[in-house]
Amino acid sequence: MSHELFEAAREAMTKAHAPYSKFPVGVALRADDGKVYLGANIENLSFPQGWCAEPTAIGAMVMGGGRKIVELAVIAEKLPLCTPCGGCRQKISEFASADTRIYLCDEAGVAKTVTMAELLPYAFETDVIG
């Protein structure tokens, strides 16, 4: 399963719009509905206004009917084992569980697997705040 997500994330990365940073990122996530949703970073000349690959994939998941992330793969062209940024870690955790698998990829495939709890050990929890 993780290899399928790696291939999908790598394909998503080719669709990134990263003319300013030249740092394309791709994400593929499998949702609770069994479907795979893709995302790529989409930059804007006003740098804080662009968005990362992870929320792009999450938005596709929500609009496609998925509600929970079962597993997620992330790949960046220029940085092997690129982890989601801090803000994206919280965005992912909103739709994931502590044991959701996050696959960190390099050009050859999945190089490391971590859980959501390892990636963001002190995430805000909706059952406490929401």
- Known binding-site residues for Zn(2+) equal 52, 85, 88
Active site residue 54: yes
Distance CA 98, CA 41 (A): 24
Catalytic residue among 54, 71, 118, 125: 54
Distance CA 105, CA 87 (A): 20
Binding-site residue numbers are 52, 85, 88
In the numeric block, the tokens 């050009």 are attached to: 107
Q: Which two tokens stand for residue 9?
A: 């994330």
Distance CA 104, CA 91 (A): 17
Alpha carbon 32 to its chain's center: 15
Residues forming the active site: 54
